[in-house]
Chains A and B, each alone.
Chain A
Amino acid sequence: MSQTGSLMGFVHRRRRGAELFLLVLALMVGIGAYAAVGLGVEGVVPADLVGYGGWLTALIVGAHVTVRLVAPYADPVLLPLVAALNGLGLAVLRRLDLTYEANGLDQHTFARQQLIWMTLGVVLFIAALVLLRDHRVLQRFTYTAGLTGILLLILPFLPFIGREINGARIWINVAGFSFQPGEVAKVMLVIAFAGYLVLHRDALALAGRRVVFVDLPRGRDLGPIMAMFGVSMMILVLQNDLGSSLLFFGLFLVMLYVATERPGWLVVGGLLFGAGALAAYTFVGNVQNRFNFWLRPMDYYDQSPGSFQLVEALFGQGWGGLIGRGFGNGFPERVPFAYSDFIVSTIGEELGLTAVMAIILCYGLIVERALRIALISRDGFGKLLAVGLGAIVALQVFVVIGGVTGLIPLTGLTTPFLSYGGSSLVANWVVVALLLRVSDQARRPAPRLEPVDDSGADSESTQVVKLK
């Protein structure tokens, strides 16, 4: 484990003032975008701007104060990044609501519902930081978390509560609320992976044979990776959810590689992924379609199933150009699901390449902060946890933005913090809470070790230290 921080006598500063300053900027993004939506679409500043802005400010200030009190050494950049993305997402949803309402659609309260979900997310964020004072506690729940994660993934298949929406069976419906348990499952699985791998990393890392410069693992150690591969394929085949399948397997591979430091696992995983992708392409019609739509989107514009959604998104983003059309001057409603998977195309159309680049950079910074936390973290579990949480964001952002901009085949995933979706938003706020907790532990000055005068103990064998 790295002890460089304390060894060199370097102590991280708290930087809470910097965080506050950045949060003010983030709030300006969120509230300013909300005002711009009103001006652009309706021509007036929204009447509820003060109430809305006040609510948003209260949430952010609440989160900030909590961090100040219970995680004073936490990373100062993460929370402002998340606040800015969430605020912008709310404004874009509001912009879509106005058009949906004008077009007489039933669903036109996405922004309002998202604000409620954000409130719940921030409450859970605060609760997680307050209740969880040391992330290593989570290591105790390795198998519980794993079991919960698997159970959550199975939930949509249960009768009565499971629901299929738009061809993907990833929803449950409890007491009138729809929820995607997979979003929570991914946090659970990161905890489970981190706990499992930190214990078994030596076995997975050391045994094996060398084939052409690459250390391949032993056959008997392939168990976990095969199990995870099986789960991913199950998600793909049974739930028809290409995105989540890719996300879970990729996440596991990255964590396995970091834990074992063996590129051999990447080779094995890559081969498995290739085989899985080929099998999926051959046997799952949906996958084949998406691949074809990606290669030649224009050829499938008029067909059903076709690439209408993707092509409209490409048209919209192309039309947005460098600086976009401005709120209210585009036609994001032409893209089905512009409020969820395709929210980036809405942003591209109305705010342009500039805003899309800013968003990608924000996500990049979140990932960078997560990996930085992993680097400076003092314990293996914390490192793996931070890497896993960062990898979730990185993979998810790459898969969804890459899909919407035509870089890779389209898969259904939400854009963290931007897309409408309560489960995703709440889960992502908890992800941030966990990252802040790990970073608080990592950046906190190393405990000073003071020998305790304990004459009763055997000073030869045991040294009692007091944490100060």
Chain B
Amino acid sequence: MNKPIRVVSVFCLVLFMALLVNSTYLMYVRADSLSDDPRNRRIITATFSRERGAILVGKEAIARSVPSDDQYKFQRTYSQPFKYAPVTGYFSWFSQTGVERSQNEVLAGDDSRLFVTRLVDLLSNSDPKGGNVLLTIDAAAQDAAWAGLEALPGDAQGAVVALEPTTGRVLAMASTPTFDPNNFASHDFGAVADLDEQLNNDPREPLINRAIGTTLPPGSTFKLVTAAAAIESGNYDAESMVPGGFRYQLPQSTTTIGNYDDGNCGGRRITMTQALQVSCNVTFLSLANELGTEAMADQAEAFGFNSTSLEDLPGQATSLYPRDMDAPQTAMSGIGQSSVTATPLQMAMVAAAIANGGDVMRPYVVEEVRAPNLSVLDRTDPQSISKAISSSTADELTEMMVATVADGTASPAQIPGMDVAGKTGTAESTGDRPPYAWFVSFAPADDPQVAVAVLVQSSDTSPDEIGGGRLGGPIAKSVMEAVINR
């Protein structure tokens, strides 16, 4: 009977090998795809019940997990919920947004940079802790940005972005209306689901981070890009004489477009500096028409249009400069109308690039990743993503922008004892809604420390009060002052 016993042995060996191989397949090969299944409540509960790392601004934890006495062990709390909501996002049982999402692996303790920490936790049998994330945000600048938005009259929608021109660090990012992430972090999941539905259906779109998630025609602030393209073409400088006058007739069309105040910009031929100072539509319509779609699109893309560059936050919209515009559209694009759209972040990048001698730096929000014991694991290095303009072009544009603030439409951003460079914008809106008010600026002009873009999408202000940087200018000024005076 021994021969069949040996056969049975081999058969049993095959059975047990199959078990070994299959369990290896299940628990090693297939483990990741099982973890990714949205129905896998273990993953959700485990992440939700972990001592999640803090999100830091300076020394203050704007988001942190505190012990709770229910089954989830920890409750996420936000110390300044509305002010920082666009950056931190929320952390709920169902999902995350903002930095809570982009840095989820670090905060949850799963990131490979936290490997040693995890190993120690494992060996000491203590619960795993998440790493901390230090933001680039400057608390004073954020305070100023948020205070400025809050001070807007009525039910305003707007956003502020401030960048450090030399590095791309995001110093401030505020958006209004916004939401309270504490409500999303609640352990009452039914209430969270209701809140999510309610806010998603809110026509004021409080869940959108307007600083990066809303694209609108940039209006006159885009004249900076047009001017940059003109100077880069080699045919113009700040003192070149350019067309002024009352009206501009679009090519292939009978439509004529006038200037904002129905003026003539100071004459039939004016200097480029003067054109920017008074935000002369005729000048930049004709410049854009002369430069053509290709040159304009190349310049816009060099500043970062048609792509996204901020990697630290989800929910970014792409600022657009379409390459398939016809001649009238291209001319209109010269003053930031037709199909050109931009996020406040993109316009801040334009200002920052001019301030930084033409180098476009990749914007970033995460300064450092820290272990639970606060040792620094990783620090973001500033990274140049393109050379938008030459440094001489940058200098000329800076001078033109300084003149615009000192003696032009952007005067609300003046800071005593300091040269400030700036540009206003007023973009046409649809229907009977008020136009969008834009403001971009940087200061000090000779040694730029901060570049700001302000967008006021709608507010209870009469249309004629919006132009001239009356809404955006003071906000930009207070943010710049907050950075310079720190």
Which residues of A line the B interface, CB within 8 A?
2, 39-40, 254, 257-259, 261, 298, 301, 311, 314-323, 326, 329-331, 334, 348, 352-353, 356-357, 360-361, 363-364, 367-368, 371, 374-375, 380, 383-384, 387, 390-391, 394, 397-398, 401-402, 405-407
Given contacts A261-B4, A407-B22, contact A322 B16 (CB under 8 A): no
A317 CA / B4 CA spacing, docked (Å): 36
Q: Is B45 touching A380 in the complex (CB atoms < 8 A)?
A: no
- Chain B: which residue is nearest A356 at the CB level? B23
A348 CA / B122 CA spacing, docked (Å): 17
Digit string of B1-34 for contact with A (CB within 8 Å is 1, else 0)?
1111111110011011011101110111011111
Q: Is B5 touching A330 in the complex (CB atoms < 8 A)?
A: no
A331 CA / B40 CA spacing, docked (Å): 11
A363 CA / B13 CA spacing, docked (Å): 11
Q: List 22 A-B contacts (CB under 8 A).
A: A258-B1, A259-B1, A261-B1, A316-B42, A317-B26, A318-B31, A318-B35, A319-B46, A353-B24, A353-B27, A360-B16, A364-B13, A364-B16, A368-B9, A371-B12, A380-B1, A394-B15, A394-B16, A397-B16, A398-B18, A407-B19, A407-B22
Please name all residues of chain B whose beta carbon is closer than 8 Å to the beta carbon of A323 when the two chains form the complex. 122
Q: Is B45 touching A405 in the complex (CB atoms < 8 A)?
A: no
Q: Is B18 touching A402 in the complex (CB atoms < 8 A)?
A: yes
Q: Which of A331, A360, A394 contacts B42 (CB 8 A)?
A: A331
Q: Which of B18, B34, B127 contacts A407 (CB 8 A)?
A: B18
Please name all residues of chain A whose beta carbon is closer than 8 Å to the beta carbon of B13 when the two chains form the complex. 364
Q: Is the interface of B mostly helix, strand, loop or mixed?
A: helix
Please name all residues of chain A whose beta carbon is closer than 8 Å to the beta carbon of B33 when the two chains form the complex. 318
Q: Does B43 contact A (CB under 8 A)?
A: yes
Please name all residues of chain B whose beta carbon is closer than 8 Å to the beta carbon of A321 when the two chains form the complex. 27-28, 31
Given A315-B42, A360-B16, A371-B12, 5 additional A-B pairs, CB 8 A: A326-B122, A401-B23, A405-B22, A406-B26, A407-B22
A319 CA / B43 CA spacing, docked (Å): 8
Given contacts A334-B41, A356-B23, A406-B26, contact A257 B4 (CB under 8 A): yes
Please name all residues of chain A whose beta carbon is closer than 8 Å to the beta carbon of B255 when the two chains form the complex. none
Q: Is A319 touching B15 in the complex (CB atoms < 8 A)?
A: no
Q: Which 9 A-B pairs have the closest CB atoms?
A: A318-B34, A318-B31, A353-B27, A407-B22, A364-B16, A258-B4, A398-B15, A394-B12, A315-B40
A387 CA / B82 CA spacing, docked (Å): 73
A335 CA / B24 CA spacing, docked (Å): 20
- Chain A: which residue is nearest B15 at the CB level? A398
Given contacts A319-B35, A353-B28, contact A398 B8 (CB under 8 A): no
Q: Is A319 touching B4 in the complex (CB atoms < 8 A)?
A: no
Q: Is A318 touching B30 in the complex (CB atoms < 8 A)?
A: yes
Q: Which of A2, A301, A330, A387 contacts B8 (CB 8 A)?
A: A387
In angstroms, how far is the closest chain B Cβ from the Cβ of A408? Answer: 9
Q: Is the interface of A mostly helix, strand, loop or mixed?
A: helix
A84 CA / B442 CA spacing, docked (Å): 73
In angstroms, how far is the closest chain A Cβ from the Cβ of B320? Answer: 40
Q: Does B486 contact A (CB under 8 A)?
A: no
Given contacts A259-B1, A326-B122, contact A319 B42 (CB under 8 A): yes
Q: Does B432 contact A (CB under 8 A)?
A: no
Q: Which of B1, B20, B125 contacts A383 (CB 8 A)?
A: B1
A394 CA / B8 CA spacing, docked (Å): 10
In angstroms, how far is the closest chain B Cβ from the Cβ of A409? Answer: 13
Q: Is B22 touching A356 in the complex (CB atoms < 8 A)?
A: no
Q: Does B59 contact A (CB under 8 A)?
A: no
Q: Is B5 touching A387 in the complex (CB atoms < 8 A)?
A: yes
Q: Is B5 touching A383 in the complex (CB atoms < 8 A)?
A: yes
Q: Which of B20, B22, B37 contacts A298 (CB 8 A)?
A: B37
In angstroms, how far is the closest chain B Cβ from the Cβ of A305? Answer: 17
Q: Is A315 touching B5 in the complex (CB atoms < 8 A)?
A: no
Please name all residues of chain A whose beta carbon is closer than 8 Å to the beta carbon of B3 when the two chains form the complex. 261
- Chain A: which residue is nearest B40 at the CB level? A315
A375 CA / B7 CA spacing, docked (Å): 12
Q: Is B23 touching A258 in the complex (CB atoms < 8 A)?
A: no
Interface centre among B15, B33, B35, B40 (most CB of A within 10 A): B15
A412 CA / B279 CA spacing, docked (Å): 80
Digit string of B32-63 for contact with A (CB within 8 Å is 1, else 0)?
11110101111101100000000000000000
Q: Is A257 touching B8 in the complex (CB atoms < 8 A)?
A: yes
Q: Is A39 touching B12 in the complex (CB atoms < 8 A)?
A: no
A326 CA / B124 CA spacing, docked (Å): 11
In angstroms, how far is the closest chain B Cβ from the Cβ of A259? Answer: 7
Please name all residues of chain B whose beta carbon is closer than 8 Å to the beta carbon of A40 when the two chains form the complex. 125
Given contacts A330-B42, A398-B15, contact A315 B1 (CB under 8 A): no
